Amino acid sequence: MNLDQELAQLHPLLLRFAKAQLRHDSMAEDVVSETLLALLEKPEGFEGRSSLRTYATGILKFKIVDVLRARGREVHIEPMDEQSMDDALDALFAADGHWREPPPAWQQPERALEQSQFFVVLQGCVDKLPAKLGRIFMMREWLEMETETISSELDITANHCGVMLYRARMGLRECLDLNWFAGASK
């Protein structure tokens, strides 16, 4: 396969991730085109360094971060309603702070990582998070940005960032528990 064919094959994947992160179709298409253009113009940048997929994803991530930064400056992310956030989480716990339903262990989680269907469920669970939570969570876990950077980019306090990540993680945990591990006698 030549470079163009490989990029054509990669294109849907890149687009899916850009859309999941930006939640804006035309912006996603833009960052993906820019990524592909960068690769077509400077193919020597990647040669021998890593797989094309890894290299392309790396470039795409940088472009997504740029868009998120620009957007963070344009659109002020208002503080989330801490009360309703707390309410949803509180429902998991009894008044004394114990789990209402103690979370069970997940069976053979490492095997899930070998199954492409698991990643479909994982992506679905991230997409189901409230938009702001999903975005912050992706910035932290997928773009692997430090929380300090995220807080300053989005102009929120470190504590607010921590609360949002906490809520996102608990939501994702719940979703995976329900949609993968509970029914998985795999």
Partner 1 sequence: MSGPKISLSCQEVSRLLSDRQDETLPAADRARLRLHLVMCGACRNVQEQMDFMRRAMQQLGKESDGGP
- Residues 121-180 within binding reach of partner 1 (CB under 8 A): 122-123, 140-142, 144, 146-147, 162, 165-166, 169-170, 172-173, 176-177
* Gap between the Cα atoms of 152 and 158, Å rounded: 9
Q: Is 99 helix (H, G, I), strand (E, B) or coil?
A: strand
Q: Which of 3, 40, 113, 182 binds partner 1 (CB under 8 A)?
A: 113
Q: Which of 103, 107, 182, 186 binds partner 1 (CB under 8 A)?
A: 103
Residues 6 or more apart whose CB falls under 8 angstroms from that of 16 comprise 123
Q: Does 2 bind partner 1 (CB under 8 A)?
A: no
* DSSP conformational letter for 181: I
Q: Does 93 bind partner 1 (CB under 8 A)?
A: yes
Q: With contacts defined by CB under 8 A, how many residues of the chain interact with partner 1? A: 42
* Gap between the Cα atoms of 70 and 30, Å rounded: 14
With 0-12 CB in 10 A as exposed, 13-18 as middle and 19+ as buried, what is 73? Answer: exposed
For the window 37-76, what string marks contact with partner 1 as x by the rule CB under 8 A?
--------------x-xx--x-------------------
| Minimum CB–partner distance for residue 70 and partner 1 (Å) | 22
For tokens 């960052």, the residue is 31
Q: Are 129 and 138 in contact (CB under 8 A)?
A: no
For tokens 């209402």, the residue is 100
Binding site for partner 1 (CB under 8 A): 13, 17, 51, 53-54, 57, 89-90, 92-93, 96-99, 102-106, 109, 112-113, 116, 118-119, 122-123, 140-142, 144, 146-147, 162, 165-166, 169-170, 172-173, 176-177
